[in-house]
Amino acid sequence: MTSRDTLRFLLGTELREIKVMEPTTTVLDHLRLVERRTGTKEGCAEGDCGACSVVVARPGEGNHLTYRAVNACIQPLGTLDGCQLITVEDLAAADGTLHPVQQAMVDAHGSQCGFCTPGFVMSLFAMTKADLAAPDDQDIDEALAGNLCRCTGYAPIARAARDLADAPAPDQFDLAQSQTLTRLRALDDGAHLALSDGKGRRFFAPANGDALADVLVDHPQATIVAGATDVGLWFTKHLKRPTPLVWIGRAADLARIEETPAGIEIGAGVTYSDALETLARLWPDFGAVLRRLGSTQIRNAGTIGGNVANGSPIGDTPPMLIALGPGCICGPGRCAGCCRSSTTSSTTASRTGA
């Protein structure tokens, strides 16, 4: 297994290579304390308020990047491997011209004290990069549901969002998209990522399920993390520093959804956002609940597998999974027969669960 000991990602357009990293370092702490990019704020440090919203771009289907807003406060820095991280500092043009999202907020008087504003701007920026012909009110509500404002109120911000639909001119990110894709694909070397803080504390990001199994054999006490929407609070609220931390988000074989005659298999790395289309099509009520789960930022990071594996008594998805029936948790070709006493077909939570 090829291994790499350096985290690599684009911060805006600049390559970052990080060799020494405390495994529980969050994206927000790195931005504010190391990069001195203080535009991204800390409000709650638990994924609720959206003040820390940043956008992560990854190669998606075809020749396109997918842009997703996430909460930097609970996102481990190591999860940026192979991505472009975009913060509010990246939006204005080199000559200082505001990005259309920023200008719309100014024109609609969408800011007062300004503390929440960078987070709203980044959520709106992500919305403009989604495949929406013209965002309607529901799209806008969903895009902004993870951002809280204590002083402006939401009407001017929603007005700014609606105004953006009238100004769809390409921005610098659209113009540089193929160049950025080329750079990100060059970073995707398929290697197993093994980082250290230089004092024995480790962060692993295996490139596939087999490599994950190898890491877990060597480190049975490891903490497995996918979206970190719960584990991230261990760092920020409980000041825990688990090591090693094993992130499964680089394992492409754990990020698949497979529909078969026996059921549906959801890999442990599939985010709520990625599972939404399939689950809403098969079970509209499941889709309706998922759209209310957390926020767009949380759904873009958190996984159903992690929600199950976390075992929280207040987990969001277990009640729905239980209501759908036991189903087959073995997967195609591996069924042990325990599901056959049920007449209810069939949902499959991740076997790996992380």
Q: Does 101 bind ligand FES (CB under 6 A)?
A: no
Work out which of 47, 76, 327, 353 binds ligand FES, going by CB under 6 A.
47
Strand, helix or coil at 134? coil
DSSP 96: -
CB closer to ligand FES out of 48 and 316: 48
Candidate ranges 4-12, 50-58, 173-181, 271-279; the one touching ligand FES (CB under 6 A): 50-58
**Total binding residues toward ligand FES, as defined by CB under 6 A:** 23
Of 249, 198, 203, 209, nearest to 222 by C-alpha is 203
Strand, helix or coil at 55? strand
Question: Site mask, ligand FES, residues 53-72, x = CB under 6 A?
Answer: ------------------x-
Work out which of 23, 43, 100, 302 binds ligand FES, going by CB under 6 A.
43
Could you give the CA distance from residue 266 to residue 255 in angstroms, rounded to a whole number? 8
Could you give the CA distance from residue 325 to residue 321 in angstroms, rounded to a whole number? 7
DSSP 143: H
Could you give the CA distance from residue 31 to residue 190 in angstroms, rounded to a whole number? 26
Candidate ranges 115-123, 213-221, 276-284, 309-317; the one touching ligand FES (CB under 6 A): 115-123
Work out which of 31, 52, 254, 264 binds ligand FES, going by CB under 6 A.
52
Torsion of CA 105, 300, 18, 182, to 10 degrees: -80
Q: Which of residues 149-208 bind ligand FES (CB under 6 A)?
A: 149-152
| Rounded least distance, CB 352 to ligand FES, Å | 27
Structure tokens at 146: 């993870």
Q: Does 48 bind ligand FES (CB under 6 A)?
A: yes
Q: Does 77 bind ligand FES (CB under 6 A)?
A: no
Residue at 350: amino acid letter = S
Task: For 169, list phi and psi in degrees, rounded to 5.
Answer: -60, 145
CB closer to ligand FES out of 154 and 283: 154
Judge contact between 62 and 141, C-beta under 8 A.
no
CB closer to ligand FES out of 104 and 321: 104
Work out which of 112, 172, 278, 345 binds ligand FES, going by CB under 6 A.
112
**Distance (Å) of CA 165 to CA 104, 122, 135:** 10, 16, 7
Candidate ranges 45-53, 61-69, 122-130, 261-269; the one touching ligand FES (CB under 6 A): 45-53
Could you give the CA distance from residue 335 to residue 169 in angstroms, rounded to a whole number? 52
| Rounded least distance, CB 106 to ligand FES, Å | 13
| Rounded least distance, CB 157 to ligand FES, Å | 8
Judge contact between 159 and 108, C-beta under 8 A.
yes
Candidate ranges 148-156, 209-217, 300-308, 343-351; the one touching ligand FES (CB under 6 A): 148-156
CB closer to ligand FES out of 135 and 232: 232
Start-to-end CA distance of the chain, whole Å, equals 22
Candidate ranges 8-16, 92-100, 105-113, 305-313; the one touching ligand FES (CB under 6 A): 105-113
Judge contact between 349 and 264, C-beta under 8 A.
no
Where do contacts with ligand FES occur on this chain (CB under 6 A)?
42-45, 47-52, 71, 73, 111-117, 149-152
